[in-house]
Chains A and B, each alone.
Chain A
Amino acid sequence: MMTRRSTDCLVAFAGGMGLAVMVHCNSLAAQHTTPAFASWVAHGIGAVIALLLVAVAARATHGAGAAGGSPRERGPPPVWAYLGGVPGTLAVILAAVTVNSRLGLAGAVALMQLGQVLFGLVDDVVGLFSTPTRRIRRIDLLVAICILSGSAMIIFGRGDR
């Protein structure tokens, strides 16, 4: 039987698969303009679609007070929590810079993944962004080794270079 955690893990994995499709589409857009404009278009369309999703969710819950998904706490969030879109756009520019450096696409992606996981580790241990701290277990590190080494084998194992 699927536990709630298993479902969350599968949803995150499926989300990652969707991210690959999204990057593929955004790179199509970037070929016809610049990475910054491609990101601008993607953010504009994303905002409209997210607004529709929030409206549909609000209608579905119909006054249950949980429009836009299921918040896990009440009360106003800190102002800085609304600024996630700013580093999101910065990442697009940094990606363009690093991919076009001597690192190339494979090296830039691998190092970016390493940065994500290491910062995630610090975030979990310290509780940055006022989130709950989590103890890192040996199995968590084993998961990190499996996924990062598997990812590196996919990135560097093309066999045509």
Chain B
Amino acid sequence: MIIATMLAVFNGVVVSTSRGLNGRLSEAVGPLQASLWNHTVGFGFLTVVLGAIGGWAFDPLALPPGAYLGGCLGALLVAVSSHAVSRLGAMHAALLLIGGQMTAALVIDGASRGHVPTPGRWLGVVLILIGIYLSRMPSRRPS
């Protein structure tokens, strides 16, 4: 359990590292090119890893059309997150992305599974919106 907990927190560090590197690249080449590099390098890396592991049990025709939308959205969203990190800082960008993700997840849950949000979940959305409102205050950049 402790190892799983540490791995889950470490996964957040890994996600932030990816965003930080893309944000740094974005400052030099722009967010869209940063997204292009992110996807190309990731694709190449996974091709090597999957090739080494073996067993390409994959049939592209078996995937539903909606499954391909994720990649299309990813191209745009990596650009957005790279832009956000370079403009707002890593912590603020992470908080806003998390806030948006959780709010939309609640809507998707409701639409796809018919879950009516509990009062606790509504309160969660209100807290997130308060956080978003407060985050608009400008931050100073000493260096």
A contact set with B: CB distance below 8 Å: 3, 5-6, 8-9, 11-26, 28-29, 32-34, 36-51, 53-54, 57, 66-78, 80-91, 94-95, 97-98, 101-103, 107-108, 111-121, 123-124, 127-137, 139-140, 142-160
Contact = CB atoms under 8 A, between A and B. Distances in A.
B119 to A, nearest CB: 8
Most buried by B among A6, A20, A66: A20
A53 to B, nearest CB: 5
B32 A71 contact: no
A16 B16 contact: no
A123 B39 CA distance: 23
Nearest to B20: A129
Interface of B: 1, 4-5, 7-47, 49-50, 56-60, 62-64, 66-81, 83-106, 108, 112, 115, 118, 120-121, 123-132, 134-143
Given A87-B17, A116-B98, A140-B91, A21 B29 contact: no
A119 B93 CA distance: 12
Nearest to B58: A37
B32 A89 contact: no
Main secondary structure of the interface of B (DSSP, over half): helix
Contacts of A57: 30, 32
A151 B102 contact: yes
A114 B94 CA distance: 10
Contacts, number: 486
B129 to A, nearest CB: 8
Contact of A49 (B17, B75, B90): B75
B77 to A, nearest CB: 5
A46 to B, nearest CB: 4
B3 to A, nearest CB: 8
15 contacts: A8-B88, A12-B84, A33-B58, A37-B57, A45-B72, A49-B71, A86-B45, A89-B49, A94-B11, A114-B12, A115-B16, A132-B143, A134-B140, A134-B141, A135-B142
Contacts of A117: 12, 91, 94-95, 98
Nearest to B79: A69
B29 to A, nearest CB: 5
Given A26-B70, A150-B99, A85 B42 contact: yes
Given A36-B46, A153-B120, A118 B12 contact: yes
